[in-house]
Amino acid sequence: MSHGRFKSPVEAVLTGLKDLFGKQDLEDRFNPSNRIEGKTCLVTGANSGLGFATAVQLAQRGGRVIMACRSGIPDAGEKVKQLSGSDHIEMMRVDLSDIAEIHKFCDEVRDKNISLDLVILNAGVTPPKARRTKQGLDEMFMVNYLANFILMHRFLKDGVIPNQAFAGNAHPEGDRPRVLFISSDSHQGASAVDYEEFGKYFDYGVSKAINNYSYFKLVLNTFAVELSKRLNDKDKIDVSVNVMCPGPVNTNIARDAPTFLKAFIKLIFLLFFRSPMKAARPVTYLCCSPDLEGKSTEYLHMFNQKKMDEKCYDSLEGTKLWKASAEVWKSIDPKACR
């Protein structure tokens, strides 16, 4: 059976605290003068927390920001406008737990002739126990992983993210789109993908939910590496696909935790974890800095460059994951890309 790094919320929180006190090697490279004037940026899960802070910072740097989220419409968008001083903010509704909603959202983006320069895949959930989606999948598997697989297929096939490999509409040289997966360093040490259980729904409780969170981040990172391989040649990057862990962030991600744990987690988050605005700085760096131009499969843990778990780079594993993901998608969705 698959397993992640942590067995309890307390263990995960304590590890997050330890991460806060390390040196941040690239922090001095975070330059407010790096602008993205007129570039179109899409951020999932942008109505609160890290996604909200990222939307504010990208708008402050001249980006046209699309906030893709399930709730907070239009209030969160109005607040981003207020904080950023920019009116180039749009909110679009999408429920990433529902495949029909994802198609509706992707159709809307395509039909508006939107061309995305930056895509930040930030949305995630940590339910306290297994929850079944409308299509019968586990909610954490769907939102934290498969929804991203589907979004990328739709955006690339539709040419919404300009690219040569899937749509044949690549941007001119030197103006490459960037895709950024928001992950977690807790993926380090998670098990390899278990294809016997992959995509299957089964009941679990709090401990397995925490365990699954880091496991699905390893799955996500493996997909990111495989996606980059399929988009890019060795000597030519068409679409940059990078991954980062923002470190411990004071967000509402633990809002569904059991009552006996929620108060403890909220107190630790409030006292010790970084604010979303501070945690979003390395996200913004990866999106805006010329340091990342023409680079792909880079991984940042906060402002530190490092390697992901070695399993994420296994090319055979990447191919198997792609095939298994496509099969799960096709089994529940007649509109799946063939």
Residue 127 is predicted with a pLDDT of 87
- pTM equals 0.90
Enumerate the β-bridge partners of residue 233. Answer: 236
pLDDT tens per residue, the chain (338 residues)?
555 555 555 555 555 555 666 678 899 999 989 999 999 999 999 999 999 999 999 999 999 999 999 999 999 999 999 999 999 999 999 999 999 999 999 999 999 999 999 999 999 998 889 999 999 999 999 999 999 999 999 999 999 999 999 999 997 766 799 999 999 999 999 999 999 999 999 998 887 888 899 999 999 999 999 999 999 998 899 999 999 999 887 666 555 555 555 565 565 555 566 789 999 999 999 999 999 999 999 999 999 999 999 999 999 999 999 999 999 999 999 989 75
Residue 128 is predicted with a pLDDT of 84
Determine the 3-state secondary structure of 76 from DSSP. helix
CA angle 103, 79, 107 (to 5 degrees): 15
DSSP per-residue codes, 224-276? HHHHHHHH-BTTB-SSEEEEEE--SB--STTTTS-HHHHHHHHHHHHHHSBPH
**Residue 121 corresponds to which amino acid?**
L
Rounded Cα distance between 191 and 204, Å, is: 17
Residue 154 is predicted with a pLDDT of 97
Residue 183 is predicted with a pLDDT of 97
Q: How far is CA 26 from CA 51, 146, 186, 286, 335, in A?
A: 21, 31, 21, 11, 43
Rounded Cα distance between 120 and 107, Å, is: 19
Q: 13: which DSSP letter? A: H
User: 260, exposed or middle or buried, with CB in 10 Å at 0-12, 13-18, 19+?
Assistant: exposed
Residue 18 is predicted with a pLDDT of 59
8 Å CB contact between 6 and 186? yes
Element (H, E) at 84: helix 75-84
Among residues 123, 124, 112, 198, which one has the least CA distance to residue 155? 112
Residue 76 is predicted with a pLDDT of 98
- Number of other residues whose CB lies within 10 A of the CB of residue 272: 13
Rounded Cα distance between 116 and 86, Å, is: 18
- Number of other residues whose CB lies within 10 A of the CB of residue 279: 22
Residue 269 is predicted with a pLDDT of 59
DSSP per-residue codes, 90-148? EEEE--TT-HHHHHHHHHHHHHTT---SEEEE------SS--B-TTSSBHHHIIIIIHH
